[in-house]
Amino acid sequence: MSETAAQRTTPGTDLTITSSDFTKIHFTHEQIQARLAEIGAQIDSDYAANPPLFVGVLKGAVMAMADLQRNVTLPIETDWMAVSSYGSGTKSSGVVRILKDLEADLLGRDVLIVEDIIDSGLTLSWLLSNLKSRGAKSVEICTILRKPEAAKVTIDVKYVGFDISNDFVVGYGLDYAERYRNLPFIAVLAPHVYSE
């Protein structure tokens, strides 16, 4: 297994992360930030009249929420939700349990859900109808990653960072068994990690 190295791009540091746990760096920190700057500008223009309530889905969307919001100049509000999808292994079933609910009242609000990744789409599809049923004026989605080939349901996604193939990716909030969320980049997980 060859080692994949990535330069951490945080200003003021020159730490290199080298690991055989990844087969490749899919998106560098700079690529992610550049895309979030574009999406942030789009949100500024789309929601100029009605600044939205950002709803981050824990834990995967923590990095995306922090970086995306720094690219939005509107007076937005922030809330968080944690959900768990029943299913076998890494596949979600669409049957969702709320682990942490919102504090905000959604009545009449324009809501923007921020997610790390859309795989089958089952979790988000459930979340979408759940939030709509609370009387929100609009509920839209922003996701950093989407796997179009894995889609089991069609959902309207307003903002997509990047479309990717069915590789299992980690980093920038995304985990495998709760690890790798802290990586500043998005990498493809090496198959040997699953079997350890």
Residues that bind ligand IMP (CB under 6 A): 60, 85, 92, 116-124, 168-170, 174
- Binding pattern to Mg ion, positions 46-85, x when CB under 5 A? --------------x-------------------------
CA 140/CA 64 separation, integer angstroms: 16
Q: How far is the CB of 164 from ligand IMP (least distance, A)?
A: 8
Residue 139 interacts, among ligand IMP, Mg ion, none and using kind-specific CB cut-offs from 5 to 8 Å, with: none
Other C-beta atoms within 10 Å of 104: how many?
17
Is the CB of 116 or the CB of 140 nearer to Mg ion? 116
Task: Output the CA torsion 80→81→82→88 (10° steps).
Answer: -130
Q: Which position among 21, 105, 119, 156 bears the catalytic label?
A: 119
Helices 62-69 and 29-46 cross at an angle (nearest 10°) of: 60
116 noted as active-site residue: no
**Tokens coding 18:** 């080298």
Is the CB of 52 or the CB of 56 nearer to ligand IMP? 56
Alpha helix stretches (DSSP H) within the chain: 29-46, 62-69, 122-132, 191-194
Is the CB of 43 or the CB of 143 nearer to ligand IMP? 143
Other C-beta atoms within 10 Å of 81: how many?
20
Residue 193 interacts, among Mg ion, ligand IMP, none and using kind-specific CB cut-offs from 5 to 8 Å, with: none
Report the catalytic residues.
119
Q: Which positions lie near Mg ion, rule CB under 5 A?
A: 60, 116
